[in-house]
Chain A
Amino acid sequence: AQKVTQAQTEISVVEKEDVTLDCVYETRDTTYYLFWYKQPPSGELVFLIRRNSFDEQNEISGRYSWNFQKSTSSFNFTITASQVVDSAVYFCALSSGDDKIIFGKGTRLHILP
């Protein structure tokens, strides 16, 4: 069975602090894809990153970075020097062989000025 767990329901940090959002996944497939999406207060879902199961390289995009570790089935997301505009709900998602795409329950991030 496939599963995505985002154990952190809600996080609050002060602006300019670094924050890491955790994502743990379960799948029996050897080929799978992991995603992060952002949902700002306006409600639309914004794609942030996709990573396939064969590429464990960490990725950095500006203040955002992602740490993919197959050994611990984790795909964590770090925001460096957080800003108020980063306040949103962040979702981790898993896609595997049967085209099903499931999401975690999301982490609501509050960046306090």
Chain B
Amino acid sequence: SQTIHQWPATLVQPVGSPLSLECTVEGTSNPNLYWYRQAAGRGLQLLFYSVGIGQISSEVPQNLSASRPQDRQFILSSKKLLLSDSGFYLCAWTSGTGGEKLFFGSGTQLSVL
């Protein structure tokens, strides 16, 4: 069966520090991968999505970036965190066959202080 792993669950970082959140999917190949952010009391904002290795579509460039070095690995990064980067980050995947539901990771609660 397919599983999605996202870590860490909680992260507290100072302003200006770097960020690396990792997400891996098991049990499937060539998934579509997504990063979403949910700020407190706000909706799910699509940050990046990827339909293949090295293919990244950016919705919210700002100071965040994403990479897909392997088929089932999706990494969210920042060189210097801002206070506004605080939020709940969710990784998700679909089968990539079109119109399939998202399977979500358990999320990372990021607090930038």
Measured CB to CB, the residues of A under 8 A from B are 6, 31-33, 35, 37, 43-45, 47, 50, 52, 91, 93, 95, 98-106
- 8 A–B pairs (Cβ distance < 8 Å), ordered by A: A35-B101, A43-B106, A44-B104, A44-B106, A99-B49, A100-B59, A103-B46, A104-B43
Q: Is B74 an interface residue (CB 8 A)?
A: no
Closest to B109 in A: A43
Contacts of A93 in B (CB 8 A): 44, 102
A80 to chain B, nearest CB (A): 23
Q: Which of A32, A45, A50, A100 contacts B46 (CB 8 A)?
A: A100
Q: Which of B87-107 contact A (CB under 8 A)?
A: 88, 90, 94, 96, 98-102, 104, 106-107
Contact across chains for A43 and B102 when beta carbons are under 8 A apart: no
